[in-house]
Amino acid sequence: MLDTHARKYVQPAIQKTADSLLKAGLSANQVTVLSFLIGTSSGVLVYLGFPWAAVIALWLSGYLDAVDGSMARATKPSPFGTVMDVTFDRIVEISVILGVAFLLPDILWAALLLMASIVVSMTIFLTVGNVSENNGVKSFHYQAGLAERTEGFLFLTALMIFQDYALWITLAFFAVELFTAGQRFLEAKRLLS
């Protein structure tokens, strides 16, 4: 939801960073890999007991993830870049969920439910993107929903910082992901019927 509706407010800063990195000779794919490396460190950092460093790594990764897309659109987007981007995004999210779950093993069952809901929601998202005509700026049809990347980052941040409430935060994130999956499924029925 926030990615869809708030992007226009942060896009000038994202574009300025993208332009600077392109001028420095970096490619969108290189920034995707950098974003991935920084992002996956967040799961390790939270597990090692550095939750604020983990949060900074997560959000820096997310920012660079937005920047790499702007870089790709300013040059020539590659289909493999899209595959890397979407795959690495999920691995970053998984790293945080696993980092918290290994740190707090009592919530492992809830973390598994959360990851299952993300799989279902992303399966719908990617399948609809594959079978739909693309009319947007992304390299595939983008389905908005209650839980987009920014909402996920807010939940992941809460998980890392408010560890005493990790079970409830994980279950709330799970419910929001399931709701988003339902939204996307109903939109798919309307769009593809």
Q: Cα–Cα distance between 44 and 146 in angstroms, integer?
A: 28
Q: Which amino acid is at 160?
A: M
**Strand residues in the chain grouped as ranges (E):** none
Smallest CA-to-CA distance from 40 within 65, 57, 56 is with 57
Q: Cα–Cα distance between 134 and 152 in angstroms, integer?
A: 24
- Residues 118, 151 contacting (CB under 8 angstroms): no
pLDDT tens per residue across span 30-85: 999 999 999 999 999 999 999 999 999 999 999 999 999 899 988 987 889 888 99
Torsion angle of C-alpha atoms 20, 23, 28, 31, degrees rounded to 10: -60
CATH number for the domain harbouring residue 183: 1.20.120.1760
- Output the pLDDT for position 143: 61
Q: Cα–Cα distance between 158 and 176 in angstroms, integer?
A: 14
Evaluate if pTM is beyond 0.85.
yes
Q: Domains in the chain: how many in total?
A: 1
Mean confidence (pLDDT) of the chain: 89
State the average pLDDT over residues 107-114: 96
Domain containing 41: what range?
2-192
Give the end-to-end CA distance of the chain in Å, rounded to a whole number.
Answer: 24
Residues 6+ apart with CB under 8 A from 36: 61, 84, 88, 91, 92
Q: Cα–Cα distance between 70 and 51 in angstroms, integer?
A: 29
- Comparing 10 with 137, which gets the higher pLDDT? 10
Confidence class of residue 192 from pLDDT cuts 50, 70 and 90?
confident
| Token reading at 61 | 């990764």
Q: Cα–Cα distance between 46 and 159 in angstroms, integer?
A: 10
